[in-house]
């Protein structure tokens, strides 16, 4: 006696072509695997915090606690920040300082009230992943949106022909047709919401902005500049996804830079910058061996975007004692 093991409620709504079944199975599981991988990386990648160079020393903290807020308070921060690659300021022109973390904020760094810590290149705190989206996992977040969108579009596309049959009474009168209707509506609605969110973040990447910077433009010494960190579409894209295109679709970290310093496109040049000989790009070095840019200009060479040796210290030994003060971008104006 031969026993049929088919579910009678789904008879007449399955794919009959074997090739079509194989292709759909491969594409479905590939998209599902990439979706889960990128989602996992977005959730469990810890947001990066400012390095110890941006933290105040014990003596500087003591001075800040003793001195009232005002010009003296800023003078202490000026001395602490003279050798740091910070070009953004507060609305009043002061150095960006976090009272909670007791550190000088690097450019594009913000304090997350949910995580209660400063996040490098913070974009937003995402409830979908219960994590901060910042420098360390922004690429993973973009891939999560991309693969979830493709996943939903694939489901809606493969279900479309049966959804049409549902309205034309081309399906057998079983419970399967209600599953088909629900699946199509769910996939279509998620596709619409994900496409708008993914499109918005693609625009942010093309402009080299974060969500916070899109709502409030960064403030530099010369004033507010909504495109202050934009270096052109190609370089903006590579700053997030890296130079090697083979890693772009994979949720592995390939973003350029360290999250603490970023090349900028400041337009207004100070007269002091003209004294820098052509071809030389002096750098500011800290005790840990990090190299920071001294010219935040569109055409200035940067290891984030071009040759990693372009930020090599080309200054002579006699100039090392005045590296920090020779940088006009690090000269902080007195508050009025």
DSSP 97: E
Local structure of 104: helix, strand or coil = strand
Active-site entry in 98, 112, 115, 126: 126
- 245 and 234 in contact (C-beta within 8 Å)? no
Question: How many whole angstroms separate alpha carbon 135 and alpha carbon 119?
Answer: 8
User: What's the token pair of residue 93?
Assistant: 């022109």
265 is catalytic: no
Local structure of 119: helix, strand or coil = strand
Q: Which residue in 269, 262, 266 sits closest to 220, CA to CA?
A: 266
Q: Which residue in 129, 108, 138 sits closest to 120, CA to CA?
A: 108
Give me the count of residues in the chain. 336
Residue 239, CB half-sphere, CA atoms under 13 Å: how many? 27
Catalytic residue numbers, as ranges? 126
């Amino acid at each position: 006696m031969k026993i049929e093991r088919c579910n009678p409620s789904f008879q007449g709504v399955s794919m009959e072509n074997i090739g079509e079944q194989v292709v759909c199975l491969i594409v479905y599981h590939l998209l599902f695997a990439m979706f889960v991988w990128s989602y996992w990386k977005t959730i469990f990648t810890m947001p990066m915090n400012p390095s110890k160079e941006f933290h105040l020393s014990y003596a500087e903290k003591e001075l800040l606690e003793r001195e009232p807020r005002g010009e003296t308070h800023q003078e202490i921060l000026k001395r602490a920040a003279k050798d740091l690659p910070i070009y953004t300021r507060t609305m009043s022109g002061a150095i960006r300082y976090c009272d909670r973390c007791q550190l000088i904020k690097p450019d594009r760094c913000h304090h997350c009230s949910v995580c209660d810590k400063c996040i490098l290149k913070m974009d937003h705190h995402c409830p979908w992943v219960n994590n901060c989206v910042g420098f360390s996992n922004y690429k993973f977040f973009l891939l999560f949106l991309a693969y979830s969108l493709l996943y939903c579009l694939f489901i809606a596309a493969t279900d479309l022909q049966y959804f049409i049959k549902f309205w034309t009474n081309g399906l057998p009168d079983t419970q399967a047709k209600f599953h088909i209707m629900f699946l199509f509506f769910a996939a279509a609605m998620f596709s619409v919401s994900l496409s708008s969110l993914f499109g918005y973040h693609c625009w942010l990447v093309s402009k080299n902005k974060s969500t916070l910077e899109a709502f409030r433009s960064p403030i530099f010494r010369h004033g507010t500049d909504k495109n202050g960190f934009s270096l052109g579409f190609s370089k903006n894209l590579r700053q997030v996804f890296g130079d090697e295109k083979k890693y772009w679709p994979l949720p592995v970290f390939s973003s350029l830079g360290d999250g603490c310093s970023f090349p900028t496109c400041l337009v207004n040049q100070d007269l002091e910058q003209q004294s820098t000989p052509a071809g030389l790009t002096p750098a500011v070095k800290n005790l840990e061996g990090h190299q920071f840019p001294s010219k935040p200009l569109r055409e200035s060479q940067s290891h984030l975007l071009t040759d990693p040796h372009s930020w090599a210290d080309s200054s002579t030994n006699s100039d090392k004692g005045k590296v920090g003060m020779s940088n006009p971008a690090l000269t902080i104006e007195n508050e009025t």
